[in-house]
Each structure stands twice: as structure tokens, then as C-alpha cells.
Chains A and B, each alone.
Chain A
Amino acid sequence: MNIRNIPREAILGLVIVALCGVIAARFPAFVRPSNLLSVATDTAPLIMLALGQFAVILTRCIDLSVAANLALTGMICALLNMAMPGFPMVLMLALALVIGAFLGAVNGVLVWKVGIPPIVVTLGTMTVFRGIIFLLSGGSWVNAHEMSDSFTQFPRIPFLGIELLAWIAVIAVAGVYLLVTRTPLGRAFYAVGGNPHAAVYTGIDVGKTQFLAFVLSGALAGMTGYLWVARYAVAYVEIANGFELDVVAACVIGGVAIAGGAGSVGGVVLGALFLGVIKNALPVVNISPFWQLAISGAAIIIAVALNARSNRPKGRIILKKAEHSHEPV
């Protein structure tokens, strides 16, 4: 059977299982259900951010401000908790969602109404968001003892033996899955990325669709921001610094085409889990955590190289000779 006919999700799933198998051969404790569950829970923030990034990349944009959005929303939540310890946590979660969505909307408006390329917009807002955290917090940390117990315990509330954080990620996965496969907006995400000109002719507002993708990405990042700060019980300017690259990496490994219009929720989740397994396995197999960066970098390159082999664009080469002459030396 041709390897190209096997769905990417299946290959990625097998790679993850094989990876776990190799680790389990020497460290059986790694594949205990309780440990696998904690790996999945650890990966929940990455999954949620990757889902938002997935929608954005589908529409041919990129959102580099997600980690800064997460940090800013997390800091706002932490400061609010300091000022009003009694503020209900469900409302806090909703508030984080709204703040995140607003920050995403700022990106979206700049892309939609002003027409600035997304990479420039989000590079800019990324630094601006981090700067705002500093202005709000005065550069100081919000530590565990300054947060109320209900604030820090909220993501850890168990339900059927699984932490609330993981449940929220499950809901987010289900929600985004339904959104992209069952709604007109989901179709629009694919259409805009697949062929923007054709999308216009079918009556889709390209800019507005991109705007909504940014709002979705921002909302998920904001919600994760609260959960992140609560789970690790600390908020400061640099939390989740560089996390946006992990998020893009999860999408790319999951088979989302950076040129837009192609990818699946299943792939994104598996891409995030792949990075999560590696991150959690390194300390177990006694490899210095310093290896993690290089491994995830290599994983991105291999994943994108494998992606490209299956759908490499065929150039129109008129002269066969010319094909060889323009190869780089």
C-alpha cells in the first residue's frame, strides 16, 4: 500500500504510540494510565492554543501573539484575583475568554480593516502585549500566596478522575471540530485559505473570516491564560515566552499547511500530543531537558519535509534541460 494513501493522523498516531513504546521498554512507569493522563493534561494548554492557531493558519494568516495574549490575560486575571479574591471562578474563565477574544480582535481588525500582513501585525502586538503586562504589574510577580485557593485550585478540580483543565481542552477540541466541519464559518476558513479569490466569488468575506479566526485564536489563548496562571500559581511578564513557536510547531507537525486551506483538528491534537510526549519523556529517560528545543526543532523540519513530499507543486517546466540548470549549486 502506498504510504501517501494512509491518513496523516494515523501515521502521527502510530509515531506517538511507537515513541511511547520505546520509552516504555526501559521505563514502564511512563505508560501507566495515570502518567499518560498527566502528560495529556500538561499538553492541554498547547492543544487549546494550537486549535486557535489552526483556524488562523487555515485562513492563510499566522498569529504570533498567542503566547503574549495568554500571558497578558493571565496577568489580568491574577491581578483581579488579588484585588477581589471572592470573584467567582466561572466568571473569571468567561472574563478571560472575553479579554482574549478582544486582544485577538485587535489583531483581526488590523488585518481585516487596515490590511497589514498578519505576521507584521502579530509581531507588533506580541511585543505590545508583553509591554502592557509590565505596565500593569510594575514588573513584579504575582505569587501563589497572593492568589486565593479557589483561583489556583479551579483548573485542578477533578471530575471523573480527570482535571477540569483537561475537560476544558476536550470541550475546546469538540467545539472547534464542530465549528470547522459542521458550520458555514468552518467551511469559510478552508475556502479562504484554499483560494481567496474563489472564496470572494462564492460570497465569502475574506477579511471578516480572517478576523473571526483571530478572535477564536485570541479567545482560546485568553482562556488558557487564566488556566495557565492558576495551574502554575504564578504570573509574571515572561510566562509562556516563546510558546507561540511550540503552537505553530504543533500545527505544522499535525499537517496543517502553512499556505492555508488544509489541515484537520485530529492532526492538530496529535501534533500537540507529540510535542507533549517528547517534553514529558525527556526527564524520564534521563536526557537533559536542554535537548527539548533541538528535538522539537528537528521534529518540525522533518514533519514539514514529509508534508511537502506528498503535495509538492509541479512547476511548468518547458525545457527538460532547464529543469537541471536552475538547480542550486
Chain B
Amino acid sequence: MSLSETHADMTEASGTRSIPDRLTSPLRRNLLGWESLLLIVGIAIFILNSFASPYFLSAWSLSDATFNFTEKAMIAFAMALLIVAGEIDLSVASIIALASTAMGAAATAGAGTPVLVLIGLGTGLLCGAFNGALVTRLGLPSIVVTIGTMSLFRGISYIVLGDGAYRGYPATFQWFGQGYVFWVISFEFALFAVLAVIFGILLHKTNFGRAVYAVGNNPTAALFSGIRVPRVKMTLFLLTGLMSGVAAICLTARLGSTRPSIALGMELEVVTMVVLGGVSILGGAGSIPGVVIAAFVLGLVTFGLGLLNVPGIVMSIFTGALLIGVIALPRLVAQWRR
């Protein structure tokens, strides 16, 4: 979106079409626009929260607050790349359910922590491969495929578990969701930070990242410029599946139990996070720093409202309104200026 707008602005301004030798880095350009707006919103919410509740400004309660977004953000990083490439995966929460069920079954059978982790990651990868194969091999629209697999994956969990639950996870496994690396820094938050850096580099500093933008902006042009479009998309679906597997490990370890309804509706929160982070739902534009800030903003909103005893369902009004408002505002301002 921002790329094409830049071109349009240039064309209008000079009257002739000029093609820059080098585009401004997407990172720098985005940091000046959307991300700074979001950052201001985030800081405002932070200040409001610290006035609204006396319990907010303490290291431990802020540390607790991070659990509101770390698992979702892990998926959101991969989802951001997928949406930039013009696809979407609505099955992520169901992948969590299936991976968690698989781990639960293995734990019940007496598997140790390393095996459980491998099973979680493997299930995620398999689910991602299934989505990716349907999209790239059969050329199906990803939104429909993943609405289907969303029912299918969670459906398998329901078949296996019914109204039961898996509980017997080894104590060492629970560290992934409840352990602390250093003082108030939880394992989940540390992993979130490391993944943010890895995905930031992947999208903004590698050839693969450029290919992701190219595929999202114009898949046909990308194909003719030598990018293996199906392979890029397949990789992104695998990556999203893998990150869902990682999130499944963290969430299962944190909750200490698995029910088929685990992470129900999380896909919408992940998409909200990605879109709030400035990633164009139409593909071709977006940045990882934006998603990171959006993760913090959403986490702070839910945690702050939680401290004020606002019920979760009312919070969803805020997140829903935030999603629409943050996207509508720049568009309305642009319309009003014209």
C-alpha cells in the first residue's frame, strides 16, 4: 500500500513518472508513519493505565501482562509475513488445538519433554504443509482453505478428546509456559523478543523478505522476475504452522492442560494484531516493528482493562473498535484533506 502510494505521489508531484534508484528502506519509512502513531497510542494507554490502577506499575504485574500477547505475537510474526505475501491463515488457533492434543496424547503415554516439544513443532509443520499444499498445489484461495482446515484441525481434537482433557504433563515441560529466564523476564517473553529480531531480519534484511513483498504486491510480476512464488508461499505456510506449534507448546505448558477448545478464537486476535501493526490485509506492505508495537498495545489494553475488572467480552469492544478505528482514522483524514 505505502509503496504504491509513494509512486502515486511522485507521479502527481512531478507530472512525469520517475523511478527512484533506490527506495527508502521500508523500515525507516514505516517507522515515520504508522508505527509512530501506534507507539503514541501505546504510550498513551500505558500512562492511562498507570493512573487508572495502582497495581499496574510494578515489575511483576508488567511481567504478567506480557503473557497476554506473547503467544499470539509469536504467530503474528509469521502471519504478518503470510499476509504481506497476500495470503492468510485462519487455522492457526486450530493448529494450536491439534498440536496441544497430540502433545497431550504423547504425555499421557509417558513421553518426556524433548519428545513433546518435537511433537508440538512437528504437528504445527504438518498442518502448515497441509494448508500450503492446498493453496500452492491446487491454487485454492487461502481464506477458504484455512476456514476449512480451521474446522478440520480442531474437529480432530474434538474427535480425540470429546469433552475430556489431557493433564499429565511432566514438570520440566511446564517451564516453557511458566518458567523465568532472568528475574521478571519469562521464557515466553524472551522467546518473543528473540523471534521478533529473527522475523525482523528475515522480512527486512534478506532476499527472502524482498521476495515476500514482491509476491504480495504482484504475484505475476514476481513470477516473471524469477521468484518461485509457490515455494515462497509454501515456506510461509510452513513457518506459520511451525510458529503455531511453538505457541501451542507455550500455551499448553502455561495452562498445564489441553481441552479441544484451547485457544478458541485466537486466530482473530492474531489477525487483529497483524493488521493493527500496519500490515496491509491486501498484501504487499507491513513491517515487523509495527507488529511488535501492536502486540504491546493490545497486551496493555487487555491487561489494563483487566486490572480495572472490565470483563473480557467488553474488552473485545475495545479491541474491535481499535482495529477499525486505527485503520479508518488515516483514511478519513486523507478523505477530509482532499
Contacts and interface: CB of A to CB of B under 8 A. Distances in A.
A213 to B, nearest CB: 17
Nearest to B334: A115
Contacts of B139: 308, 312-313
B316 interface: yes
Interface residues of A, number: 54
B155 A294 contact: yes
Contact of B228 (A110, A245, A326): A326
Interface string A61-97: 0100000000000000000000000000000000000
Contacts of B320: 123-128, 131
A243 interface: no
A292 to B, nearest CB: 7
Interface in A111-129: 114-117, 119-121, 123-128
B317 A131 contact: yes
Contacts of B229: 326
Interface stretch (A37-45, A132-140, A204-212): A132-140
A290 B140 CA distance: 27
Interface in B279-338: 281-282, 311, 313-317, 319-321, 323-324, 327-328, 331-332, 335
Contacts of A248: 144, 147
B148 A300 contact: yes
Interface string A285-314: 000101111111111110011001100110
A293 B241 CA distance: 20
Contact of A325 (B152, B228, B275): B228
A189 B189 CA distance: 48
B234 interface: yes
Nearest to B328: A114
A204 to B, nearest CB: 21
B138 A294 contact: no
B155 A291 contact: yes
Nearest to A252: B144
Contacts of B327: 116, 120
Nearest to A312: B139
Interface in A309-329: 309, 312-313, 315, 325-329
Contacts of A259: 141
B228 A124 contact: no
B319 A288 contact: no
A293 B151 contact: yes
A327 B230 contact: yes
Interface in B221-273: 223, 228-231, 233-234, 260, 268, 271-272
A298 B152 contact: yes
Contacts of B271: 123
A125 B136 CA distance: 31
Nearest to A125: B320
B313 A304 contact: no
A328 B159 contact: no
A242 B337 CA distance: 40
A116 B331 contact: yes
A237 interface: yes
A127 B162 contact: no
Contacts of A139: 311, 313
Contact of B140 (A131, A292, A305): A305
A123 B328 CA distance: 14
A298 B156 CA distance: 11
B324 A120 contact: yes
A166 B15 CA distance: 61
A293 B145 contact: no
Contacts of A292: 155
* Most interface-central of A114, A123, A249, A252 (chain B CB within 10 A): A123
Contact of B150 (A62, A115, A123, A245): A245
A315 B332 CA distance: 38
Interface string A212-249: 00000000000000000000000001000000010011
Interface in B112-163: 132-134, 136-141, 143-145, 147-156, 158-159, 161-163
A130 interface: yes
A62 B141 CA distance: 13
B323 A130 contact: no
Contact of B151 (A128, A296, A325): A296
B153 A328 contact: no
Contact of B148 (A128, A301, A313): A301
A258 interface: yes
Contacts of B275: 120
B157 to A, nearest CB: 9
Contacts of B268: 123, 126-127
Given A124-B323, A130-B313, A294 B151 contact: yes
29 contacts: A110-B328, A123-B271, A123-B272, A124-B272, A125-B324, A128-B316, A131-B313, A131-B315, A132-B317, A133-B313, A135-B317, A245-B151, A252-B144, A252-B148, A293-B152, A294-B151, A297-B150, A297-B152, A297-B153, A300-B148, A300-B151, A304-B140, A304-B145, A312-B139, A313-B139, A315-B223, A328-B230, A328-B231, A328-B234
The 3 closest A-B pairs by CB, nearest first: A294-B155, A297-B151, A297-B152
Given A110-B324, A133-B313, A294-B158, 9 more contacts: A114-B332, A117-B281, A124-B324, A128-B321, A139-B313, A294-B151, A300-B148, A326-B230, A328-B233
